[in-house]
Amino acid sequence: MNARVILSIIVLGFGLTAAMLPDRKNDSIALNERELLQEMLLANNYLSVDEVAELLIQGDPSVQLIDVRPASEFKDPLPRAMNIPIDSIFSENYAFVFDQSAMKNVIYGMDDQLATQVWMITKQLGYKNNYLMKGGLNAWKSNILDPQYPSQTAPQEEFDLYAKRMASRQFFTGAKALPKVNIKPMMPVQGRKKKRVAGGCS
Q: Supply the pLDDT for residue 37.
A: 55
The average pLDDT across 83-107 equals 88
- Indicate the domain borders of the chain: 3-141, 147-173
Residue 78 is predicted with a pLDDT of 94
What is the structure's pLDDT at 8? Answer: 45
Helix axes 3-18, 113-124, angle to 10 degrees: 60
CA 85, distance to chain mean position in Å, is: 17
Mean pLDDT of 24-33: 53
CB 89 within 8 Å of CB 95: yes
Average pLDDT of the residues of the chain: 77
Question: CB under 8 Å to 121, separation ≥6 — which residues?
Answer: 14, 89
Identify the pLDDT of residue 186. Answer: 40
pLDDT, position 14: 47
Q: Does domain 3-141 have CATH number 3.30.70.20?
A: no
Task: Using alpha carbons, select from 66, 51, 61 the residue that is nearest to residue 98.
Answer: 66
